[in-house]
Amino acid sequence: MDGPLFTSDPSSSIVTERTEDTTGPPTPTKFVFVTGGVVSSLGKGIAASSLGRLLKSRGLRVVNQKLDPYINVDPGTMNPFQHGEVFVTDDGGETDLDLGHYERFTGENLKRTSNVTSGSVYLSVIQKERRGDYLGDTVQVIPHVTNEIKDRIRRVGEQDVDVVITEVGGTVGDIESLPFLEAIRQFGNDVGRENVMFVHVTLVPYIATSEELKTKPTQHSVAELRSKGISPDVIVVRSDREIDEGVRKKISLFCDVQPRAVIAAPDARDIYEVPLQLHDGGLDAVVCDRLGLVTGPPNLDVWRAMVAKALSATESVRIGIVGKYVGLPDAYLSVAEALRHATAGHGLKLDLVWVPSEELTGLLADSYLEDLDGIVIPGGFGYRGVEGKVMAIRFARENGVPLLGLCLGLQCSVIEFARNVLGLHDANSTEFDPTTPHPVIDLMASQEDVEDKGGTMRLGLYAAKLAEGSKIRELYGQELVYERHRHRWEVNNRYRKDLEKAGMRLSGVSPDDNLVEYIELVDHPYFVGTQAHPEFRSRPDTPHPLFTGLIAAAARRGGLGAGVQEKVDLTVE
């Protein structure tokens, strides 16, 4: 199931003309491996994403991949408080949130093959052993596990791409990462060292008492990496301030890399500024030279204009995300980023407020919500915090506050409307109350007999028809749209006529008319819900229309309506 979300090509700002001589033999796929050292959370994912953007801006075909050392087969069953959001790909893969960074920076729609976990690798190896595929061999980490990892990397490289950028999760020295490091070490020998390069991201901390930037942690991290048989070709140096030439030369000397291959990456004002920083530091030039990639200079005009517009914004719009996992903002990472894209596209700053849905009870709810210009109700599973979401939706509906409901947000909107407009006071979802007399949200008939509820999940890209004259049709600018889903419960078709008669427009349905995909209230400044997760397909240079519509309405509510349009234009004059 595929098709465009937008009428315009999200990659239209990127150079697509190939510059190499196509009359000669085809250039082999190149592989870049990104590792991290010293501490976790340095931004390997942002570095890998930024490199992808730079190479794609040079006209190269790029795909990103993440190797994760945890034993879970995929993040689908992991606690959002521990792991953050589950990012869903077009083909229904439940993947690591770093794939969201990759997609947002490169504009590429990745596949489930771009996320490889230790759990999935070991599961595959064990299944092969049980089938007898190894012909009685003693199954070991080397070569069986490492071969499986290398096969996953090769598989991505077979997707008609010039460069595969593979990030190795964890920190060098972690016991969990050892099979991955051994696999990428072997990979250079398998495909030729000229086709592989290693980028190592490290930290240079500033010691306030001595007023010095210290390179020793980087030296130790590189020594640890070299002890695994991997010598980095490039070192990306993270720091909280600019590093001088002396520090770069010292790292070059002690870590045995060229001075031009020590790339400074100080804290940026905006994560989308990082590709520009790394380009100014020469990262993409070093990579192209090392791998023999012949291209023209990158076309970063639109990206620079987008970043400049975001950084120059002075007026703010205040948006609240009402969720049950707000204690870890990464649980709603793509939602927050989609809001940032839309806000920056309108030339505004985002004042993001995290609202814990469990605390929205009684009169206390108003104190959390009354100063907001707009509200987002994100997805989730389980009953905890749901009544707080319903209360926030009622507040938005009755007070004209712009609202966007995503997945569970749509379901809670239907529940609230059924209770307080239709008068069905016990209306609920059978997910939360299996005995409710008014199951306005329910498993579809075809799902009710499935014992394994995991098999009933709608995952990946699904189509929807948008009603002519609806706000949502106006925002998308087309009749048929495709969005990614991750949910199980649906709007109960028995209540569709009652909902519409009472004023809720079911403005988008599945092509067979069986599933409600979008809702809206006609007599409200902006009250929109979708069963999908449109945040997964928002990009900084092509903000998603449902989010731009929300921000436009929120800006008008906040008194910033002059010149704010429903849609944004990021083209360069």
Where would I find the H helices in 132-177? 146-157
How far is the C-alpha of 382 from the C-alpha of 358, rounded, in Å?
Answer: 12
What token pair was written down for 463?
């189509």
DSSP letter for each residue of 183-245 = HHHHHHHHH-GGGEEEEEEEE--EETTTTEE--HHHHHHHHHHHHTT---SEEEEEESS---H
How far is the C-alpha of 111 from the C-alpha of 93, rounded, in Å?
Answer: 7
CB atoms within 10 A of CB 490: 21
Give the three-state DSSP class for 424.
Answer: coil
Characterize the bridge pairing of strands 94-95 and 87-88: antiparallel
How far is the C-alpha of 131 from the C-alpha of 72, rounded, in Å?
Answer: 22
Catalytic residue of the set 407, 416, 431, 520: 407
Three-state helix/strand/coil letters over 253-278 = HHHCCCHHHEEEEECCCCHHHHHHHH
Catalytic residue of the set 85, 148, 273, 535: 535
Identity of residue 174 = D
- Is 279 one of the annotated active-site residues of the chain? no
- Is 533 one of the annotated active-site residues of the chain? yes
Catalytic residue of the set 279, 438, 533, 544: 533
Residues 6 or more apart in contact with residue 239 via CB below 8 angstroms: 203, 204, 205, 206, 213, 264, 265, 266, 267
How far is the C-alpha of 409 from the C-alpha of 268, rounded, in Å?
Answer: 33
Closest CA to 94 of 428, 487, 562: 487
- Could you tell me if 116 and 65 are in contact, meaning their C-beta atoms sit under 8 angstroms apart? yes
Residue 148 main-chain phi, psi, to 5 deg: -65, -40
- Is 451 one of the annotated active-site residues of the chain? no
Dihedral sign, Cα of residue 239, residue 243, residue 248, residue 254 = negative
How far is the C-alpha of 368 from the C-alpha of 362, rounded, in Å?
Answer: 11
Q: Is 404 exposed, middle or buried (0-12, 13-18, 19+ CB in 10 A)?
A: buried
CB atoms within 10 A of CB 385: 20
The residues annotated as belonging to the active site are: 407, 533, 535
